[in-house]
Structure formats: C-alpha cells, structure tokens
A = this chain, B = another copy of it.
Amino acid sequence: MRSIEYSQKDILIFNGVINLIKGGANPYLITVSEIAASAGVGKGTIYDYFESKEEVIKKAILFNFNNEIDYFYKKIATKKGFKEKYYEIFNSIVENLQNKFSTVNILMTLGKLPEFHISEKQDSCEFNKHILRIQAIIDDLLVSGYKEGIIKKIESQYYQNMVIKSSLFSFTNYMSMQMIYKETSVKEAMDAAYKIVIKSLN
C-alpha cells in the first residue's frame, strides 16, 4: 500500500526543510547549508540520501503534504455530523494557517504547488495520490450531509465537489487575507462559508 518508505534520516532532512518553510522561508531560495543546519546534519549527508537540492525540497513538501492530510483526515473523522465535520475543517484551517506553509494553502491553490517542477513520473504519481486523498475527505463530507438530509443528492458529482471546494476557498481566502476583511469576524466568515454550501446544495 505504502508506495514510498522513507528512512529516519530522510525524514530528519525533510523536517529540516519543513521547519525552514514553516518559518517563512521561500522554497526557491532555501540553500543546502540552511537545510543541513536546520536538519542538524552535515551538508554531505544530504547528498548521501538525495540526488539534488531540488529533490530534497520537492520530496519534503510532498511528505509534509501527506502528513498534514493524514492529520486533517483524522481530525475530521472524529466528528460525527456534517456541520460538526465542516466546522472542524474551519478550525483546522485556522490552526493551520498560522504556518506560512500549510495543507490548507495547498488545498486552496490546489494544483499550484506542482510549480516546483513536478515533471518526473514519480512526482506526478505522488501528486495524484494527494488529490485522491483530498477527494476522499470531500466524499466523506458529502456522505454525511446526504445521510443527514442536509444535501439532496440531485446534483452532479462535479457540482457537489466544487461547492465544497468553493466554500472552503472562501474561508481560506478570508483567513489569508484577513487584513482586507477587517469588518468580518472569523465566526461570520465560517458561517458565510457554511451558508454557501447549504444554499448551493439545496
């Protein structure tokens, strides 16, 4: 099932990268020295485990993406009702957006990250897996809504999907641009995003 297994050292290095990015570093401007220092290993060690700087950063980002989706998935699974799950997502977004680099940012820019030159087959495959996992979260949500009668499943799969994504986009956009939405509280933004789902799916 697990397509990629990483060694302890791999993960140590990934965390070096992730911490830099979470600390505000621009992935394109990170140096190998910084990664080595952040990971607490020698520069040479990085090249014992990876082919190039690009590979390290790319894999670290995907690794982190994976982990955050796992975490996201589990958190949502703890909640039972549609609305509870939905607001749990909002809370995760709030929590997550403290980091400059978060799954949420990725969910939002869905498909933007691969700009980090995802070209090789391996990467592309990895990326598809992420999409599927996000899809699973959305599907889980839709199922809940359907069961509870909140959603009347008369719409197309695509439409339902997009409603969820759009709604989440609205909240993420609020969070990341809070400075231009000074008159709206977090609670109001959550409610607005939720209202979009409810109205759009009825």
Bound state CA distance, A184 and B155, in angstroms? 13
Most buried by B among A110, A162, A163, A189: A162
In A137-188, the 8 Å CB interface with B consists of 156, 158-159, 162-163, 165-167, 169-170, 173-174, 176-177, 180-181, 183-184, 188
Contacts of A29 in B (CB 8 A): 28
A111-B173 in contact (CB<8A): yes
Shortest CB-to-CB span from A101 to chain B, Å, is 11
Bound state CA distance, A202 and B199, in angstroms? 8
Bound state CA distance, A112 and B115, in angstroms? 14
A110-B158 in contact (CB<8A): no
A173-B183 in contact (CB<8A): no
Most buried by B among A165, A184, A189, A192: A192
Shortest CB-to-CB span from A189 to chain B, Å, is 7
List chain A positions with a Cβ less than 8 A from chain B. Answer: 26, 28-29, 105, 108-112, 115, 117, 128, 131, 156, 158-159, 162-163, 165-167, 169-170, 173-174, 176-177, 180-181, 183-184, 188-189, 192-193, 195-196, 199-200, 202
Beyond the given pairs A111-B173, A158-B184, A195-B200, 16 more chain A to chain B contacts, judged by CB atoms under 8 angstroms and listed by A's residue number, are A28-B29, A105-B112, A108-B109, A109-B112, A110-B173, A111-B176, A111-B177, A112-B176, A165-B169, A166-B167, A166-B170, A166-B196, A169-B170, A199-B199, A199-B200, A199-B202
